[in-house]
Amino acid sequence: MRSDAMKKGMERAPQRSLLKALGLTEAEIGRPLVGVVSAQSELVPGHLHLGSLAEAAKAGVRSAGGTPLAFPSIGVCDGIAMGHEGMRYSLATRELVADSLECMARAHALDALVLIPNCDKIVPGMLMAAARLDLPTVLVSGGPMAAGSHRGRKTSLSTVFEAVGAVGAGRMGPEELAELEDAACPGCGSCSGMFTANSMNCVCEALGMALPGNGTIPAAGAARVRLAKEAGTAVMALLAQGRGAREFLSAAAFRNALALDMALGCSTNTALHLPAIAREAGITLGLELLNEVSARTPNLCRLSPAGEHYLEDLHAAGGVSAVLSELASIGRLEGGAPSVSGRSLGDIAAAARVLDPSVIAPASAPRSPTGGLAALRGSLAPEGAVVKRSAVAASMLRHEGPARVFESEEEAFAAVMGGRVAAGDVLVIRYEGPRGGPGMREMLACTAALAGRGLDASVALVTDGRFSGATRGAAIGHVSPEAAVGGPIALVREGDRIRIDIEAGWVELLVAEAELAARRASWAGPPKRALAGYLARYAREVGSAAAGAVLGGSS
């Protein structure tokens, strides 16, 4: 055991003394030491209940002969951080989560890990650490929130964001908004649509790093507690077999994860997180692979915000395992890939079936023949950009219009709410990339305002920032190179024509190269921001969104 180096032998008496100060007995010290990492907090609805899941995981570890030792992780609630300076810290915390887990696991010579995240950046941050450490590891998320209900309709956080735009346009009264505010988020769990948190928690099943049900079992239920106990026993089995995280985080696992991503119609943020996790496992995952997988993988689900179904509906329809079974039926699953359950992905898929084809369409009659995400390239994004194709209205798959240029999300939001955006426009929001933001803020407030005003089917938005999984419409993010490093998006001027062809995979700035060269020669550089502390360090070290916005990456 790795922990023997810290606890065995006469010379380790001081260390054992400190372990005994924790209340551990000789027998407990002699067993494998398993870190149980919980992101529980009273700031994040998705994390409010994680303490009870940590206790369940600890019970599972003990029942299988290990000694569980809990420690915390930070976590930002993207919904609460959205639309103000707080969002600059969201993506940046992914690296802090990964680094802090590495430090704790190595410093205390832990033998294995159970990871208990739930929201946005915490899931990929923990997986990055798992790949880096290569310890036996099982992830069990906190599970999705139940959908809200308002005037007979299911609702979620994105419904409230869109309602703000509707009130601004006079399409909804403030009294109804107040009703919605009270009803949309009924309790603990990750927000109830196929937003980033639930996207990543589902993808964990396809990566083989979580047990079946991880992505969809409701947060507030006994089944989630049982899953956490099973995670504790499963990690002890992995430890006994000497199976580290990198055995599961293989190239095949990432291809399976992308295939599931396309079938579900996940958040565009998976295009940031999967490459970052893969990098820690020694695997390069480029945007080219995203399009290759998308081209041969049908989209089977239209979950909120792309449709009317929520995570609770996906769970009732058979969950991720049922989606994997449909992919296996058409040869789109590499079934030999292992999982922490002890079964292969193929075995898990073979034991599952679709219980509601209105939620999970059969692979023989999909929602669309290609996947839910698309990577775009072109003169505006030479290194690439990403769009959630399954949430784009058919009328906006091809679009050309005049650029409306904004230097920040706040400027664009004010223009939308002030009625200064017209059908046909292409909003360009720049200097919001990983380095320029810094922190690559999500633009949900802006995209939701467009939807709330009824403009999501006639206005496109292009940014070097990113979007919440709750975004719908022709929202093209991750434009690379970003404006802060002189990418073409920095050279766009008001009124320039921009052409978007999502089906062909292009986003073009229709300006002559000679004119662009002149603009480039006169470009004065990015706006000066007064940065200090962690954000200043992050801005200096973060790389391109096209490679996952990792620290130490290329610009």
Quickly tell me which residue has 């399954």 as its tokens.
Answer: 390
What tokens were used for 111? 């033998």
Whether the Cβ atoms of residue 86 and residue 61 lie closer than 8 Å to each other:
no
Consecutive H or E run containing 507: strand 506-509
> Of these residues, 190, 341, 458, 468, which one is catalytic?
468
Q: Which residues pair with 84 in a beta bridge?
A: none
State the Cα–Cα distance between residues 381 and 287, nearest whole angstrom. 12
Quickly tell me which residue has 């404006």 as its tokens.
Answer: 483
Residue 260 corresponds to which amino acid? L
Whether the Cβ atoms of residue 278 and residue 166 lie closer than 8 Å to each other:
no
Angstrom CA distances, 132 to 283, 393, 448, stand at: 12, 40, 37
Using alpha carbons, select from 142, 141, 67, 134 the residue that is nearest to residue 105.
134
Consecutive H or E run containing 197: helix 196-207
Using alpha carbons, select from 150, 92, 284, 126 the residue that is nearest to residue 209.
126
According to DSSP, the β-strands at 497-501 and 506-509 are: antiparallel
Using alpha carbons, select from 373, 375, 392, 391 the residue that is nearest to residue 547.
375
What tokens were used for 327? 């992919």
Residue 390 corresponds to which amino acid? S
Sheet holding 33-38, edge to edge: 67-72, 33-38, 112-116, 137-139
Whether the Cβ atoms of residue 521 and residue 474 lie closer than 8 Å to each other:
no
Strands (E), 81-164: 112-116, 137-139, 148-150, 153-155
Q: What is the 3-state secondary structure (H, E, C) of 4-40?
A: HHHHCCHHHHHHHHHHHHCCCCHHHHHCCEEEEEECC
Angstrom CA distances, 57 to 70, 108, 115, stand at: 10, 19, 9
Cβ neighbors of 128 (< 8 A, separation 6 or more) are 94, 97, 98, 276, 277, 280
Q: Which residues pair with 476 in a beta bridge?
A: 387, 462
Task: Please compute Rg for the chain using Cα positions.
Answer: 23
**Nearest-10 Cα torsion for 328, 140, 276, 109:** -130
Please say if 468 is a catalytic residue: yes
Consecutive H or E run containing 280: helix 270-280
State the Cα–Cα distance between residues 226 and 220, nearest whole angstrom. 12
- 3-state SS class at 72: strand
Catalytic residue list: 468
